[in-house]
Amino acid sequence: MVLDSKTPQGPLAEKWNKYKFDLKLVNPSNKRKFTVIVVGTGLAGASAAASLAELGYNVKSFCYQDSPRRAHSIAAQGGINAAKNYQNDGDSVYRLFYDTIKGGDYRSRESNVHRLAEESVNIIDQCVAQGVPFAREYGGLLDNRSFGGAQVSRTFYARGQTGQQLLLGAYSALNRQINLGKVEMYNRHEMLDLVMVDGKAQGIVTRDLISGEIESFAGHAVLLCTGGYGNVFYLSTNAMGCNATAIWRAHKKGAFFANPCYTQIHPTCIPVTGDYQSKLTLMSESLRNDGRVWVPKTKELAEQVRKGQVKPGDLKEDDRDYFLERKYPSFGNLVPRDVASRNAKEVCDGGKGVGTTGKAVYLDFADAIHRLGKDAVQAKYGNLFDMYYQITDENPYEMPMRIYPAVHYTMGGLWVDYNLMTSVPGLYALGECNFSDHGANRLGASALMQGLADGYFVIPYTLGDYLAGIGPKPVDTSHPAFAQTKKDIMDQINKFLAMKGTKTLDEYHRDLGLIMWEYCGMARNEAGLLKAKGLIQALKVDFWKNAIVMGENEEMNMSLEKAGRVADFIELGELMVDDALNRKESCGGHFREESQTEEGEAKRDDENFAYVAAWEFKGENTPSELHKEELIFENVKLTQRSYK
């Protein structure tokens, strides 16, 4: 199969406008004859569902939480980028496009990224019209701040809770359509499978998480907006319920999975304290604007600090290694996320880490407090300092913060073409669950932008083209494919419920996470990846033999929910390893130790790897097939990133 990205011809800046004109339209009076299924109510899902309903389509919306407003977009802290150039500091659509392509280490599609930059400006207008309370200046206009990987101030923010405020905006638009009867909302419903009719996506099967009822729903198209799969690693900054089930099962029904190994590991998170740890908390990237990263200069000193014999504040300047400032004099503490994370790992692996576990580095505000005063630091970062204090019981105004990298975001996801359609006709993927736009590394404040661009401004156009093509013939669940898919799911559930082994689901999940973190985390090499593959395969066999699943289907059953998610994570974990093995170059968040420059930086291999790796599922325990979409760069010149 040849992967057709449907990238429009013509000059970069004109592609999207011209394409929109060329797309087929659905006649206004016909729109109500179509039903669209939208799975997920985060920024991508809520904005898509509301916008499509406004156009007149009937929408059925699903989420696993008890309310659409709890989707994990809610947790985004830092902000959202847009090329408004309100600061008059030289920003433009082209600059945002360029920064994003470069930040992604030249592994994304030019056409998609340019469209994203174009739509970014409309997002801000839309959110303000909905009542989103972005930060403002005293003059009453919107405020901006700068964020990693950019030299202009283009990030719009809402205190430390941009995600919640944007989501509440999209949720309110969704609520309005629910009130008007155009969206039917199904909370606490988990999508467990995709229903295919005549080679097209035509519905889904869900489990009602309260009653256990297995239901099917039919629609003319299915939109997956189900977020990232970082929880493959068990510990991540994702919410506890974030899962890969919807996209993984769609993958098994034919949707290609692109670049699964591209994972973003965020440098500034609160370190692990013990085995019981259930998730990791992000400390916003903005802290690196004023915080200095360091470790004790020698292993001996580090050991004394770990044992509490020496306090960090008592270490002389000469006994400290500000390793980012030392290695990257021009970017210093503000190097991109992947570089900062790898360096933290390197010093800790070298025995210089701090904290009781030795898996932490300091993020120190003593200089900033000295230079700006405590009040100024508090005004800027007060809520983050409080959050840190809450979790660690240490006061960051007096002691440097301890931080360590953690899994944060997944750039990989379902392969989509320019229309956001997967390789399955009628099945779309929006937001973090698709692979588009961020290449091998995502810049800060760009995920919120992408989710909302996909939902508000891309899918309303591109979906119409597909629907106009298939026509408004009614669809319902009477086709035998629906009963069959329901039966397959029931069989799987019964299989889970019969599992009465000795090991808990969390234990399996933790084991998987450790394998992934060790061998498919911040640094990867062939031997380690091969080892990981064997370990995962063994874990999978053991899982189906020895896992314990409690309770019955016809009740709220967190054990059963977890079983399906862990089973899918294990399979996806193996594909991530396969992808990491295949990609012998280093790029962005994917660091292959075999491919580094003399100074130990990531080295791309454009000649052999300037492609999207899209994997096709070929059956249980059968190797997946790799399809390559060549990346063509007509506008930017590929260069090796340097932050020295």
Ligand X SMILES: Cc1cc2nc3c(=O)[nH]c(=O)nc-3n(C[C@H](O)[C@H](O)[C@H](O)COP(=O)(O)OP(=O)(O)OC[C@H]3O[C@@H](n4cnc5c(N)ncnc54)[C@H](O)[C@@H]3O)c2cc1C
**Binding residues vs ligand X (CB under 6 A):** 39-45, 62-65, 71-73, 75-80, 162-163, 190-191, 225-228, 237-238, 243, 245-246, 282, 409, 431-433, 445-448, 451
Q: Of 51, 245, 434, 441, which lies in the binding site for other proteins, with binding defined by CB under 8 A?
A: 51
25 binds other proteins (CB under 8 A): no
Shortest approach of other proteins to residue 237 CB, angstroms? 8
Provide the minimum distance between the beta carbon of 421 and other proteins in the complex, in angstroms, as a whole number.
20
Tokens of 415: 């392969």
Cα separation, 443 vs 129, in Å, equals: 26
Tell me which of 62, 97, 147, 171 binds other proteins, using CB under 8 A. Answer: 171
Which partner from the list other proteins, ligand X, none does 139 bind, CB cut-off 5 to 8 Å by kind? other proteins
At 622, list the tokens.
């059968």
Ranges within 187-246 binding other proteins (CB under 8 A): 187, 210, 239-241
- Total of chain residues touching other proteins, rule CB under 8 A: 80
| Kind plus residue range of the DSSP H or E element containing 405 | strand 401-410
Per-position x/- string for 487-516, each x denoting binding to other proteins as judged by CB under 8 A, each - no binding: -------------x-x-x-xx---------
Closest Cα to residue 45, out of 66, 72, 78, 80?
72
CA distances from 419 to 1, 223, 308, 422 (A): 18, 12, 57, 9
Q: How far is the CB of 414 from ligand X (least distance, A)?
A: 12
Question: Among residue numbers 447 through 476, which ones bind other proteins (CB under 8 A)?
Answer: 456-457, 460
Is 337 tagged catalytic? Answer: yes
CB of 500 to ligand X, least distance (A): 25
Contacts 24+ apart (CB under 8 A), 307-313: 311/399, 312/354, 312/362, 312/364, 312/399, 312/400, 313/366, 313/398, 313/399, 313/400
Minimum separation from the CB atom of position 442 to ligand X (A)? 8
Alpha carbon distances (Å) from 310 to 45, 186, 296, 297, 304: 51, 56, 11, 13, 6
Residue 545 near other proteins by CB under 8 A:
no
DSSP states along 67-127: SGGGSGGGG--S-EE----TT-SS--HHHHHHHHHHHTTS-S-HHHHHHHHHHHHHHHHHH
- Residue 324 and residue 343: Cα distance in Å, rounded? 8
Q: Would you count residue 131 as binding other proteins (CB under 8 A)?
A: yes
Question: If contact means CB under 5 to 8 A according to the sort of partner, which of ligand X, other proteins, none does residue 484 touch?
Answer: none
The smaller minimum CB distance to other proteins, of residues 32 and 159, is found at 159
Nearer to ligand X, 134 or 609 (CB): 134
State the binding partner of 208 from ligand X, other proteins, none, CB within 5 to 8 A by kind.
Answer: none
The burial class, CB within 10 Å (0-12 / 13-18 / 19+), for 505 is buried
Partner from other proteins, ligand X, none binding residue 159, C-beta < 5-8 Å depending on class: other proteins
Of residues 157 and 609, the one with the C-beta less far from other proteins: 157
Q: Which residue is nearest to ligand X (CB)?
A: 42
Question: Is 292 within 8 Å of 367 (Cβ atoms)?
Answer: yes
Q: Which is nearer to other proteins, 131 or 329 (CB)?
A: 131
Q: How far is the CB of 391 from ligand X (least distance, A)?
A: 13
Return the residues of window 364-403 that contact other proteins according to CB under 8 A.
Answer: 387, 390-391, 393
Q: Does 130 bind other proteins (CB under 8 A)?
A: yes
- Considering CB distances under 5 to 8 angstroms, the limit depending on partner class, which of other proteins, ligand X, none binds residue 460? other proteins
| β-strands 35-39, 221-224 pairing | parallel
At residue 34, the 3 state secondary structure works out as: coil
Residue from 66, 349, 476, 625 that binds other proteins (CB under 8 A)?
66
* Contact range with other proteins by CB under 8 A, out of 170-178, 252-260, 324-332, 634-642: 170-178
* 230 versus 336: smaller Cβ distance to other proteins: 230
Site string for other proteins, 104-123 (x = CB under 8 A): ------------------x-
User: Closest separation between CB of residue 118 and other proteins, Å?
Assistant: 14
C-alpha 123/C-alpha 416 separation (Å) is 22
Task: Choose the one of ligand X, other proteins, none that binds residue 480, judging by a C-beta under 5 to 8 angstroms depending on kind.
Answer: none
- Select from ligand X, other proteins, none the partner in contact with residue 619, using the beta carbon and a kind-dependent cut-off of 5 to 8 Å: none
Give CA angle at 80 (76, 84), nearest 5°: 170
Q: How far apart are CA 501 and CA 514, in angstroms?
A: 21
List the catalytic residue out of 69, 115, 337, 604: 337
Near other proteins by CB under 8 A, which window of 16-24, 64-72, 222-230, 258-266?
64-72
396 makes contact, choosing from ligand X, other proteins, none, with CB < 5 to 8 Å by partner type, with none
Q: Which stretch binds other proteins (CB under 8 A): 292-300, 324-332, 545-553, 568-576?
A: 545-553
SS3 for 227-295, per residue? CCCHHHHCCCCCCCCCCCHHHHHHHHCCCCEECCCCEEEEEEECCCCCCCCCCCCECCHHHHHCCEEEE
Q: What is the 3-state secondary structure (H, E, C) of 479-505?
A: CHHHHHHHHHHHHHHHHHHCCECCECH
- Which residue, 44 or 369, has its beta carbon nearer to ligand X? 44
Q: Are 266 and 282 in contact (CB under 8 A)?
A: yes
Neighbours of 545 (CB within 10 A): 11
The pair phi, psi for residue 631, each rounded to 5°, is -95, 125
3-state SS assignment for residue 180: coil
Choose the contact partner of 66 out of other proteins, ligand X, none; CB within 5 to 8 A by kind: other proteins
User: CA dihedral in degrees (292, 297, 300, 305; nearest 10)?
Assistant: -20
Our CB check for other proteins shows the closer of 133 and 469 to be 133
Q: Which amino acid is at 41?
A: T
193 three-state secondary structure:
strand
Residue 133 binds what, of ligand X, other proteins, none (CB under 5 to 8 Å, by partner type)? other proteins
Cβ atoms 63, 191 nearer than 8 A = no
**CA-to-CA distance for 488 and 468, rounded, in angstroms?**
32
Residue 598 CA to residue 601 CA, distance in Å, equals: 7
Nearer to ligand X, 84 or 592 (CB): 84
Binding partner of residue 190 among other proteins, ligand X, none, CB cut-off 5 to 8 Å per kind: ligand X
CA distance 199 to 312: 62
The footprint of other proteins on residues 255-284 (CB under 8 A) is 273-274, 276-279, 281
Q: Which residues are catalytic?
A: 337
